[in-house]
Structure 1
Amino acid sequence: MPAKEVKDGVEISNPLEIVQRLLEVAVDDLGLPRGVFEILKKPKRIMKVSIPVRMDDGSYREFEGFRSQHLDVLGPTKGGVRFHPAVTEDEVAALSMWMSLKAAILGIPYGGGKGGIVVNPKELSKRELEELSRGFIRELEPIMGPEKDIPAPDVNTTPEIMGWMIDEFSRLKGKNVPGTVTGKPIILGGSQGRVEATGRGVVFTIAEAAERLGLKLEGMTAVVQGFGNVGSITAKLLAERGVKVIGIVDAGGGVYHEEGLNIAELIDYAKETGTVNGFKDYPSMTNEELFQAECDILIPAALENQITGKTGPAIKAKIVAEAANGPSTPEGTAAMEKNGITVIPDILCNAGGVTVSYFEWVQNTTHLAWTEKEVNERLFTEMTEAFNDVFEMKEQKNCTMREAAYLVAVERIAQAMEARGWI
């Protein structure tokens, strides 16, 4: 079920257009009623808010924020909140739609949600950041709740920020409602293993892909784009499994070492300097060089639209694991498929975060606490079963892993729509 690579001769980079096209193809390929696509193609609700913040100098600034709730046919909407200057309404809408698909693939009783504020958090003091976070929750409170919509961390948001958010929501409700926000500090009801969950899930899917290809993970080489929470943890866990991580690029530059980087030391270095660039005076590495690197595994763990018609053809990796959301444009995807690269699509690859967020929600609602070992074992089971479901669909339909992931997700969502009488 090949999709068009371009639209009117121009490569598509709008994430909303990309996900809509892939959904339409999946609905058609499954022979589902057109109404399924009409429901899936846009969020049920997008709230746009303006958040006033008193700055440290006494002035006031207004920050624009969004919360998208895509679909609640399987359960309450669920998804992260990102703080980034490039946040747009279309981006948040697309991300909420991807969250719906992730939940369906993993068999989690959630729909997709996503939030964002247009801000560079590095420009704010801690007090200003807290006021912004609390103000966002005050605006969203009418549409939030453990059975309505459940925020979580995402780009540039942390457990500390989630702690402020759950505190503000609980104040507004006059009671403690821990299941309304996940990714919280453990002392406030957060789950063991949540911080590492997305990166750990990425590694589980890479291991499964390597096994399917008849490759031994130990001794393979990898490069990583992005060294935030997901990129750094993915690199660390791969290194612990004997993978040589030879190159990493972040917003401040990159570093390359053919013999493999010491990831534990690099994490400490990046915390001190804000970048991996300059680590041990190893050679620097650009994004362009990273995508051209001779390696076995490429992990885009930054933002959208990184693998394009320009960068895709140069990739030499055997496996591309999409740890970021929407890192590949349709043209970039086509280039990788043409070169026989196994792509683990984002809606499968990085679903470990929402899976452990679900575990946290379950623990909050049942007033139980699981050990990190229990969480990791459950995550392994869920991620490997989901990978196998997608791989089996790929074999059945003779299609790509991305197409198979959409087929699995859309089929399950359509079943829920039919059971509710929507179609």
Structure 2
Amino acid sequence: MTPPATATPALKKVLRPLHLWAIAVGLVISGEYFGWNYGWAVAGPVGFLLATLLITVLYVTFIFSFTELTTAIPHAGGPFAYSYRAFGPLGGLVTGYATLVEFLFAPPAIALALGSYGHFLHPQVPVLATALGCYVVFIGINLLGIKESARFSLVVTLLAVAELVVYMGLVAPHFKTSNFLSHPVPLGAAGIFAALPFAIWFYLAIEGVAMVAEEVQDPRRTIPKGYLYGLGTLVVLALGVMILTAGVTDWRRLSTIDYPLPEALGVVLGRQSRWTQFFASIGLFGLVASFHGTIIGYSRQVFALARSGYLPGFLAQVNPRFRTPHWALAAGGLIGAGALLTGTTAQVIILSVLGAVVMYGMSLLSLFALRRKEPRLERPFTAPFYPYVPLLALALTLLSLGAIVYYNWWLSVLFFAGLGGVLGVFLLLGRHRQPVAEDTLLTPADLL
């Protein structure tokens, strides 16, 4: 059961627009460094560019819609809280499960890339041990407090953005259209649809800003700025990096590795070039920013689900000194460490993307439901051109979900079997008959 409001664990309100921009970009920016290049293997550069443009439209329309929910219901549970309010306990469970899958399986993929970058620089550095060590270090940083974590995010995100700008400047003179168009994969719907999960990786987890909403000063104004500035930054970086990288060498040699950018620089400048070595060294900042941000995201989601009674109550405990959800951080780290042992980056990415797309669909349905159920709910930000923008976002979300399931059926079976098991236990325990928890009903006025 949810504890009384007076006993509900409280998070600290310290975040400002620049912090939110850093968290939004930091959550995602590793997607510009690796992971997306696996899309070339199934669609080639041209097909993958089309897939990326399609997904860019999805995220622009989704974020405009999602910001309405985040500002109306600023809650650490993020999407879980919106679905809970719109559809009750079962809706909250479905969305909470999907969000947990997204944020628990994104960090292992990033950690493996961190290990791979280290191995690129120093071949004697073991990939798996480095990845596991990253969990220990960054969970420790997150334990120190959200303000300290946000400051760290700001520094590494600024460095990561600057690095990508430098990278684009270094490779742009070597771009050749003939390289971009070489070895074409037959252009068709099949390849484009198969590439969608890797295009989503460019933007995956930007919605994690919603999970620090309870820690934001003046959420009415701060959250929209953080989302929109962050998304604009990511669109420019994603398209620039992807197009320029495809034109500097034979793209096939970059389509199956976790460090495509330093490898591309190694081709055009020489592997021993100081720029190549320098880029690979500071390239770790982009991966660190996302790894750090997704740890914030999963810990707040676990905290919110536990606080509402979906997970064991001890996971909602807040450290009395640092005011951070320490048990939620540790539990997510253990799950991530287990995923690391599989060593399958592409599969972990697809599983994380699958959770994200299901969550996007549930969030958009929640938007429509709350517009009907609670027309007088205070909405500091409203989705533009309603209902057309949210409908376009929902249509593209369903298209992406269908493509992911069709081309990754066994991972989809694993995902939905897990959801079915969780729902079964929930129904057997009779939790669906319990009233909506009070902490899911917070509005901006409650948090002022």
- TM-score of the two chains, using structure 1 as the length reference: 0.30
Structure holding more helix per residue:
2
- Higher share in strand: 1
Give me the TM-score of the superposition, normalised by structure 2.
0.29
